[in-house]
Structure 1
């Protein structure tokens, strides 16, 4: 699983860091740090974090034919990069 966070869109609400602390962390009040290649065991936490992002800044890519964008709850084919 690969993660992409649009850091220009991210507003530092830290919902992701709260829901998936092994993958996301806040550095200071506004800077987000994250593991772009999160372990598969973190999938459920990462998907919850992506869905909870108020500005939909997190994209979760399955590295296959499908990916899930934050807040959409639907699988989209051929999506790559930041929306």
Structure 2
């Protein structure tokens, strides 16, 4: 079994184009993710405030949150592209 694969230049160019397109999409989503923590309209009850806090936590601030997941995808795709 060979230790490396050889790709034709046009295949490499197409892979790079796809990676760049995906990175652009992820970058836009990442920028939009900063608005996800702006939750309001849940009311003044304690349960409503807890629900709003849960939505903020799912948006950002933990390794499993949306913003951090997007950054993980960006990092992985950047590494793959490079």
* TM tier, smaller: under 0.3
Greater percentage in helix? 2
* TM-score, normalised via structure 2 length: 0.22
In terms of fraction of residues, the more strand-rich structure is 1
* TM-score between the two structures when normalised by the length of structure 1: 0.22
